């Protein structure tokens, strides 16, 4: 917060015989007060519009999760890995993932904020040329909506892990999104195994 001049506006006092350029008049004091306080208003306006940046990195230790063919599977993230890093989160943000579910938690974000998520996981299909799909499920109740951001064939063989590091941006444009959660989900056209390493989340607060 910018400092301000808080004295009351000055009024005409005792008459001084000195020329105007040799005396400090009440109009001068009021002009200085007005100019400084106007600058303070501008500073606070700029500070209020400044975004706050930071990140949190959640390293998962859940291990292998079975994928059933053609069913959406939640990607877990318990945040218990050695490489979890919360040192550089923006001021006012405690968490961005609920580690009990692995879901994105937007409760510390304001409207107009945005995050960029880089996920890091491996998929091991039981059949070659399986179709992998990845999405976020966002919103609440009847307002829930899905945003699919990856669809690809795993065609280098079966029974081998395919590393994936998809990146996706999510913004808080309205309360339906901000008041809900973000479920990272994968779907495979055959049975397989999911192993999540974690998620790096860049945070820009409005």
CATH number (domain holding residue 189): 2.60.120.40
Q: Are both 33 and 133 inside the same structural domain?
A: no
DSSP-based three-state secondary structure for 86: coil
Mean pLDDT, residues 160-179 taken together:
98
Query: What is the CB-side half-sphere exposure of residue 125 using CA atoms within 13 A?
Result: 23
Task: Please write the tens of the pLDDT for every residue from 10-29.
Answer: 666 666 666 665 555 667 66
Angstrom distance (rounded) from CA 49 to CA 112: 11
Q: Are residues 60 and 146 in the same domain?
A: yes
Residues 95 and 191 in one domain: yes
Residue 135 is assigned to a structural domain of this protein: yes
Whether 43 and 70 share a structural domain:
no
**121 beta partners:** 164, 196
Note whether residue 6 is domain-resident. no
Which secondary-structure segment (H or E) carries 33? helix 26-49
Three-class HEC string of 127-191: CCCEEEEEEEEECCHHHCEEEEEEEEEECCCCCCCEEECCEEEEECCCHHHHCCEEEEEEEECCC
Of the residues 11, 30, 49, the one at which a domain ends: 49
**Spatial CA neighbour of 143 closest among 97, 180, 186, 169:** 180
Same domain, 96 and 31: no
Whole-prediction pTM: 0.77
Domain membership of residue 27 as a residue range: 20-49
Query: Do both 69 and 151 map to the same domain?
Result: yes
Q: Average pLDDT of 162-180?
A: 98
Domain count, the chain: 2
* Residue 87 domain-assigned (yes or no): yes
Does 116 lie in the same domain as 41? no
Span 94-107, pLDDT tens digits = 999 999 999 999 99
Closest CA to 150 of 75, 55, 96, 84: 75
Residues 177 and 128 in one domain: yes
Greatest distance between any 2 Cα atoms in the chain: 100
One domain for residues 33 and 85: no
């Amino acid at each position: 917060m910018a400092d301000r001049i808080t004295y009351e506006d000055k009024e005409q006092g005792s008459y001084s015989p000195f020329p105007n350029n040799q005396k400090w008049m009440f109009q001068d004091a009021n002009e200085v007060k007005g100019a400084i306080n106007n600058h303070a208003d501008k500073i606070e306006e700029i500070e209020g519009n400044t975004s706050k940046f930071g990140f949190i990195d959640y390293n998962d230790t859940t291990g292998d999760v079975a994928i059933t063919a053609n069913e959406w599977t939640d990607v877990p993230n318990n945040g218990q890995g050695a490489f979890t890093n919360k040192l550089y989160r923006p001021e006012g943000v405690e968490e961005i993932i609920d580690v009990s579910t692995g879901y994105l938690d937007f409760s510390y974000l304001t409207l107009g904020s945005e995050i960029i998520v880089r996920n890091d996981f491996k998929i091991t299909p039981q059949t070659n040329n399986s179709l992998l799909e990845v999405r976020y499920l966002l919103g609440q109740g009847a307002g829930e909506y899905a945003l699919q951001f990856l669809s690809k064939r795993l065609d280098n063989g079966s029974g081998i892990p395919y590393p994936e590091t998809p990146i996706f941006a999510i913004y808080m444009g309205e309360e339906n999104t901000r008041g809900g959660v973000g479920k990272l989900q994968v779907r495979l056209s055959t049975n397989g195994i999911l192993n999540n390493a974690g998620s790096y989340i860049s945070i820009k607060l409005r």
